[in-house]
Structure 1
Amino acid sequence: MDDPAARLECERQETVARLSSLTGDFDQIVASSRDSNADDEHDPEGATIAFERSQLSALARQAHHHLAEIDAAVQRLAAGAYGICDRCDRPISEARLQARPVARTCIGCASAG
């Protein structure tokens, strides 16, 4: 896929689908724990329920963050700055953009920290 706009739109659709799935899973866990009288603190399964809620919450936060990165990449594309490293102003390689469409830095600057 050579079109950056199409690549970013595909990335957006995948992330929205992942977020929807995570939200559904989270809601399901919350609903099932609400319907039971399990006490997370004293129930042997409680730690698992709390852990699953925590994991899903963290994954949902990551997906929201990725959506923000996609939006920023779309703005860079509209401004003509997509594919240009934020640090050194050199082009970001096509291979890097294929692997990470929201990349803000080239490989050299990314590995430099």
Structure 2
Amino acid sequence: MTGDSREQRLVERRTSARDRLARLERQLDALRGARGAESDDDEHDPEGAPLSAEWSRLEGLRASAVDELRAIDDAVERVATGAGALCRVCGRPIPAARLEVRPEATMCVDCASRAAHG
């Protein structure tokens, strides 16, 4: 994957993540308004899932979107400094196939696997 195509994919993913974050924040704002309008006892709402459960779900999705944006911004910075295709742990090149699938990757497959499994 060339640096330019990786940068383009990162820009596309950043746009998508920002759009998703904005949508989630609008949903949280709407839910915040609903929570203020409803009684405080949403745990026993016969209409379905309590507002607190929906709040937790949306907050989790929002946090994931924020984390994704940070990873993308980090990758953009690494590409700009010329370190974008090198593993930040071992310094070896990150395979092009991995960067094609995960343009925000900052670790090679081996280091990412070790990090994920402790």
- TM-score grouping bracket, smaller chain normalisation: 0.7 to 0.9
Give the aligned length: 113
Q: Partners in 2 of 1:48 and 1:41 — Cα distance? A: 5
Distance 2:89 2:73 in 1: 19
Identical amino acids, percent of aligned pairs: 41
Structure 2 residues not aligned, in runs of 5+: none
Structure 1 runs, 4 residues or longer, greater than 6 Å off: none
TM-score, scaled to structure 1: 0.87
CA RMSD of aligned residues (A): 2.0
- Shift of residue 90, structure 1, vs aligned partner: 1.2
The equivalent residue for 1:4 is: 6
1:1-113 aligned at under 5 Å gives the runs 2=2, 3-41=5-43, 43=45, 48-113=50-115
Please state how far the C-alpha of 1:24 moved relative to its aligned partner: 1.3
Please give the alpha-carbon distance, in whole angstroms, between the structure 1 residues aligned to 2:14 and 2:43: 38
Deviation for aligned residue 1:46: 8.6
Unaligned runs of 5+ in 1: none
Deviates more, 1:40-49 or 1:12-21: 40-49
- Tell me the CA shift for residue 47 of structure 1: 6.2
Q: Check the 8 A contact 1:92/1:107 in 2, yes or no.
A: yes
Which segment drifts farther, 36-45 or 61-70?
36-45
The residue identity in structure 1 corresponding to 2:19 is A
